[in-house]
Each structure stands twice: as structure tokens, then as C-alpha cells.
Amino acid sequence: MEQQLKANKQWMGARMERKEDLRLVTGQGKYLADIVLPGMLHAVFVRSEYAHANILGIDASAALELPGVIAVLTGEDFRTEVKSMRQPVLLPNLPAAYPEYYALAVDKVKYHGDPVAVVIARDKYTAEDAAELVLVDYEELPVILDAEAALEPGAPQVHDDQPGNEMFAMTFTGGATEEEQRANEAAVEQIFKTADVVVSNRFRVHRTGITPMEPRGVLCDWTMADGLTAWITTQRPHIDRLALIDILDIPGEKVRVIAPRDQGGGFGVKAPFFRENVVIAHAARKLGKPVRWIESRYESLMSVGQERDQVNTLDVAATKEGKLLAIRNRGVANNGTGQTGVYWGFVMPFLGQVEMPNVYTWEKGDIKLRVASTNKACLTPSRAFGHFPTRFAVERSIDMVARKVGMEPAELRRKNMVPQLPYTTVTGEYYDSGDFLKVWDNLLTHIDLPAFRREQAALREQGRYIGIGFACGAELSGVASELLVPMENQPGYGAATVRVDPRGKVLIFGGDAPGGQGHETTVAQVVASTFGIDPKDSVVTTGDTGATPFGAGTIGARAGSYFVSAVHKACADLKEKITHVLAHDLGIRATVEEFSFINGEVIYLRDPSKKKPFREIVERIIMFPVNLPEGEVGGLEATAFFEAAKPMICFNGDFCVVEVDIKTAEFKIKRWVTSEDVGNVINQNIVDGQMHGAIVQGLSNAVYEEFIYNEQGQQLTADFENYKLATAADVPDIELSYASTPCPHTPLGTRGIGEGRPSSVPGALSNAICDALAPFGIEITELPLRPSSLWTKIKAAQG
């Protein structure tokens, strides 16, 4: 048994090089743009130049006269030939004002970039030229861009079929009834009236998000025999398939969706169901030809990857000893048009408020959210799903409380952290397991805080200003059906099929579609550790609805928790069968626990001379299924599903040290240190990469990136000249450390991590800057963090 345990650990935790990288670094990856079908046509969208306008007419005659143009489709074609996008499969089970809309704009455009027509041509260059010839006659309408203004009476109406612009509103604390919630509000108000310390601020977080290296794309083929085959850059091919079935009214057996094996990132952007999927699929069916659309960077920055965009008016009450008492928030989110399937924009702010209490033990909470429709692009998911703005507000407020009571911010955080799990927050979020204090204490071992304070004081005497900032965060480790069904109307279980072939190779099939996270490598390591074989003997296939079990998609850090757990479970089922047959052949009675799978052999532990190579025993079961134990049949394939009993979490802490030049307000990050609880680690290299990427994204969002609209609602940052991203030269070295607790709810003790990881970054960085500038009394309540705005604060403080 000890030898078997050692074998199981051989690949788990190993810093194995990624299997995917051989093809990727040698230029042999196969992305959607690499897929070419005979006779393939190319699509280019005509997009609105106005943020809000009636469509009076569309003249495509000049475009249709251009040689090589096959068709021009408009919103009218879709209104009469295709169902609307408001189908049950795409609607969350949350009460909201869901607008009716079609794959192309009908009668009215609602944001700059709204698709009004699509040109189909024999090549992309012709389609681009023809798109410029499509003339659209618009009647401009009043534009509303600010969420708070949109909620005022008399504001311009975004959706004609919904009264007012409030798309979603919810109270997250106090109970299910209005009476309970009012009683809770009164109790919270009483706490604030009697509290020693109250901190109140209005926190604004700008519109920013994620820009994957590979934009979106769709390739659809239609034949009368097989129906629709759609290659889509998506994180959720099975959900996309159901949506295409329902919207296009195609029999289910006639629709297959394939996510390309290689995708240049997703980070949430490729999780919704988009209008372009329907347009290209319908065009392929209508024309009887393959049609492909590849999103331009301009389209991408104009239409997707936009998240955050919230104002949170947050009050925190505490005792003079630094005990947190109550949290009260009034959140307002700018949803844009809300026209994106599955998420409808508001699901991200919804989850952000649920997760607002973070890891602290509030006695009471009063948290409310209003989400407004505006004439901006719809919010789409982005790493740190919804809680990037709320966590910034909470972590900044905690530092302000610490300053008021004269306590070290790190000490105040530890004093108020959940001391023992499981725990349920004031918003009802369940924290299943782990040890927050262990992770936090590990973080603090990386700095001598008293020595830092002495250095800080000495440097201030020299006119230099350094500061330290802390923040932390609990995030979802996979999303259980208990949460995903009401939030997105989708199941949360993980699923995998494992098939062993007669030569001892293992084929794994999963319905989720990764975007570069390293699933092929980590899954191969799980299979290798279970069967005692080499990871190179495993091949992982993902994202093909015609070959994989149903999967909810690559979202919410599901791979490390849900998908690999399903893989392990399927492998365990096959081990039972393999050892049952082997025991029969050896003439012994034994259970699976009495065999060791190690170094390509299956060994009977009570008598190690009784063994057989893994390849031989699986070949015998698959190819020579005679004289089997009673009730057994040949073949080695198992499909397993995994669902945790409760939602699971992971946890992290950060600190950074910055220096601020008070003459220019430029700031430099001198150190960035983290402490992580990811459960048992499958591959340290891949986890390190997830942490590095998430922190860099958080820094880029907080400091460099911002989607900007002018007064007419035109998007001014639809290229990388104006939408700035952090480069390698802009980010610090990141010191990673781990203080993990194995997850008791997954068979391998693993936790998924990475999806929400950027959310603690803006709080840590802002806190460090404010700590550096504490002599000036400067507090940061808005993002992005720009030297220009900081310089204004410094000059104002200097008088």
C-alpha cells in the first residue's frame, strides 16, 4: 500500500512541462483561423457608428453589385426567419427585465458597434470592401451612458419593451421577504449609530476587463445530410449547441459544436453565447456553403471584454479595538445594453455583491444592488467575475478603519478573518473548507513588518515615500449546480469519459473547452498517477459536442476541482474492472485496494510476483474478452460525473511594497508577494503561471486599461494605441508562496484557482500607495490608478 501511495504521488505535483507547448511553440497549433473548408465564404459585419439611433433603412445594392459578394443579410432577415435571442436556455433563473433582441439589430441600434448587417463574400477582402458600401440611414436618439443617471426618472430609454432602465435589482442580506429585509436594515442602521468607528466612501471602478490574444471566431458548415457543424471559439460548446438548436429551430441530432483544440485565451470573454454565432450559422444554412467570421481587434475591443464599471457606496462600522461590526453597500452597475446570452451583463455584478463580505466576520450586512441599462456595449465576463470592484471597495475600507483605530492593517485583517471553516457569510455565500489564518500567517513570514516601518520612517526623513499594502480574497473553486443553476440556468457538475485502448494508451474526453490553461497536461498527470503510466500515454480531447459528455464549460476554475475529479472518478471505475479481471486470471480473490498500479505494471501487493503489465491486462480485456469473471464484459471505457455537495472555495493573500515620487506622482512596485491555498497541486508550473497571469491582469486593469466613451457614446479605445495594456516592463517580479489545505470534497484534494484571482490586486496596490502617502492623508477611492490623478491629490494635500 505504501508503494502504491508513492506511485500515486509520482506525477501529482510534478513540475512537468506542458504537453501543449510542443505544437504551440513550433507553430503547429490549430486555431479557428487555421480551419479552412472547401468553398468557404467569409463574413464581415456592418456595425453601427451611433450609440443610439433608429434604423430608417439599409441600402445594400452597391455592396451586392461588387464581384464576389454572395449576400447581405440584415435584421429583417432574422426577425422573419430566426427566433429572438431571448430563449429559456440563455436566461438565468434570476428576476430581471430581459430585453427582446435579435442576432442583428432590428429597427434600432443601442450601442456603438451594434451589428446591423452582415456581408458574405468569396474572400474577406471583398467582404470588407462591400461592408463599406452598405448604407444605413439613421435617426439619432438621445444617449444615456451613466448608470446612475440612467436610473433617474425621465432618462432616455434604452429598451422600448422594458419600462425604465433598471434591468436588475436585488437585496442580498436580511432574509427572503421584504419585511425581514427592512428589519435587517433597521438593525444595521442601529449598529452604525452606536459604532465607535464608521468609514463611508463612494468607490468607482472604471470599465475594463480582458483582451484575449485570439479574438472570437465562428465557422459554420451546413449539409442536408448532417445538418449544422459549428466551430466556435467558446468556453462552453455544449451550451452553445443548445442555444443554436433553440434559436435556429434545428433538431438536436443535426447540430454539432466544436471548440478548436487551441484557443488563444478566454478568461470569461468566450463564455457567453454571442449573436455572431447565430448570424454565421443561419448564413451557412441559408446559402448552403461554409461561412467563417474572424473578429477583428477593433470589433473585439468595441464589443466584448468590458466588465467592472460599478459604483459602490460602502459604509463600514467597527469598534475602537478594530472589530468589524457591519457592512452596508449600495451598488450601481453599468450594464450596457444587457444583450448577451447566458450572462445578460448583470450576472457579474450580482456575484460581486454576493462575494462582497470577502473573508471577514461581519456581524451584520445590508447589501443592495441596482443594475442599469445604458448605451454602452453589454458587460461580458472577465476574470475576477463581478468582484473586482467590490473587493477593491472592501479592502480599501478596511485600511481606512485600521488608520482610524491606529492598528496595523495586516493585524486588523487577521483579527477579523473567518477563524474556522465551514462558514456562511452575511450574503449567504458558503465557504466549505481551508484555513484562512494559515495562509495569512504564511504571507506575513515574508516580511519583517516592524523593520519595514522603521525603514519607512527613516526614508520619509529623506523625502522618500514607501508603503506597504495588503489584500486578500476568497474565490469560487468551480461553481456548484446549487449556485450555477439559479445564476445561469446551467448545471455545474463535471463530466469526463476515459477510454483505454488495446495498446495501453488512455483517451480522455471532456465537454469543457480550455483556452490555454494546460488541461492536457494536468489531466494526463492525474491519469498517470492513477494508472501508474507515463503522462505521454494519455491524450485529452475537449470541446467537441459530438464526442464528449455534456459539460457546463470552462468557467469559474472548474478544471482543477470538477473536471479532474470526474476524470479521476472514471479512472477509478476502470481500475475496479481491471483488477477484478486480473484477480480472476491470477486465480485469487482480491479487491482493487490490494493492487498497485506503478511503472506500467499492475502488482498484487500480497504477492508481488503476481503481476501483469498494464498494457497486457487492458489488451486482454478489450481484445480477448473470453473467460471473464461472471457478469463482466469486454471493453474499458467509463463516463463519470462529479458534483460537490456544496460550493467550494480557494483563498489568497497579497502584499506589495511601492515607492511614490511625490514630485511626479509616479509609483514603482518594489515587491509583490502572495500566499495561496490551491489544495493539492497537480502541476506547480501551471499553478504558478495562473497566479502570475492573474496578478498581471489585475495590475493592468487597475493601472493601464480603461474603455472610454465620448459624450455621443462612441467608443474611443478600440485599438491598442488607445487601450493600453501592461507590458513585461511594467510589472514586478512576483514572489509566490503556498500554504495549502487539501480540499476534503474532491477525490484528489485539489482546488481550482485562477478565475477570481485578480480581484485582490487593486486593493493591495491602492493600500500600498495610500500607506506611502499617509503623511498627506491621501485616500484612493477611484480606479484606474493614474499618476495624473495621484499628482492632483498630492498637490491638493500640499496646500
Residue 508 half-sphere exposure toward CB, CA atoms < 13 A: 30
Give the pLDDT of residue 5: 45
pLDDT tens, position by position, 368-411: 999 999 999 999 999 999 999 999 999 999 999 999 999 999 99
**Could you tell me the three cell numbers for 369?**
444592488
Q: Which amino acid is at 316?
A: V
Give the pLDDT of residue 547: 96
Tell which residue, 34, 64, 28, has the closest CA to residue 46. 64
**Average pLDDT value over all residues in the chain:** 96
Give the pLDDT of residue 753: 85
**Could you tell me the three cell numbers for 12?**
501529482
pLDDT tens, position by position, 260-315: 999 999 999 999 999 999 999 999 999 999 999 999 999 999 999 999 999 999 99
* Dihedral over alpha carbons 586, 590, 591, 593 (to 10 degrees): -90
Give the pLDDT of residue 646: 81
What's the distance, Cα to Cα, between the start and end of the chain in Å? Answer: 73
- Contact yes or no for 402/199 (Cβ under 8 A): no
CA dist 484 to 93, 343, 345, 490, Å? 9, 11, 16, 6
pLDDT tens, position by position, 162-189: 889 999 999 999 999 999 999 999 999 9
Mean pLDDT confidence for 741-769? 95
pLDDT tens, position by position, 43-81: 999 999 999 999 999 999 999 999 999 999 999 999 999
| pTM as predicted | 0.96
Q: 3-state class of 787 per DSSP? A: helix
Residue 752 half-sphere exposure toward CB, CA atoms < 13 A: 28
The answer, yes or no, to whether residue 1 has pLDDT greater than 70, is no
Q: 3-state class of 180 per DSSP? A: helix
**Could you tell me the three cell numbers for 439?**
495562509
Burial class (CB in 10 A: 0-12, 13-18, 19+), 194: exposed
The answer, yes or no, to whether residue 6 has pLDDT greater than 80, is no
How would you classify the pairing of strands 324-334 and 291-294? unpaired
Contacts with 472 (C-beta within 8 Å, 6 or more apart), sequence order: 358, 359, 395, 413, 417, 436, 439, 440, 651, 652, 653, 654, 760
How would you classify the pairing of strands 291-294 and 217-223? antiparallel
Mean pLDDT confidence for 520-533? 96
The answer, yes or no, to whether residue 640 has pLDDT greater than 60, is yes
Mean pLDDT confidence for 472-500? 93
Beta bridge partners of 431: 423
CA dist 78 to 48, 59, 75, 321, Å? 17, 17, 5, 63
Split at pLDDT 50, 70, 90, the class of 121 is: very high
Give the pLDDT of residue 9: 56
**Could you tell me the three cell numbers for 200?**
463611508
H helices of 355-408, where? 387-405
* Dihedral over alpha carbons 776, 777, 781, 784 (to 10 degrees): 10
Between helix 436-444 and helix 409-416 the angle, nearest 10°, is: 160
Give the pLDDT of residue 409: 98
* Rounded CA separation 138/682 (Å): 56
* Rounded CA separation 337/379 (Å): 8
Burial readout 565-595 (b: 16 or more C-beta within 10 A, e: otherwise)? bbbbbbbebbbebbbbbbbbbeeeebeeebb
Mean pLDDT confidence for 718-744? 95
pLDDT tens, position by position, 646-686: 889 999 999 999 999 999 999 999 999 999 999 999 999 99
- Contact yes or no for 96/114 (Cβ under 8 A): no
Tell which residue, 713, 709, 699, 644, has the closest CA to residue 669. 699
Mean pLDDT confidence for 125-153? 98
Give the pLDDT of residue 647: 86
Give the pLDDT of residue 10: 81
* Rounded CA separation 508/638 (Å): 10
- Contact yes or no for 11/535 (Cβ under 8 A): yes
The answer, yes or no, to whether residue 479 has pLDDT greater than 90, is no
Give all strands of the β-sheet with 465-476 in edge-to-edge order. 465-476, 649-660, 667-677
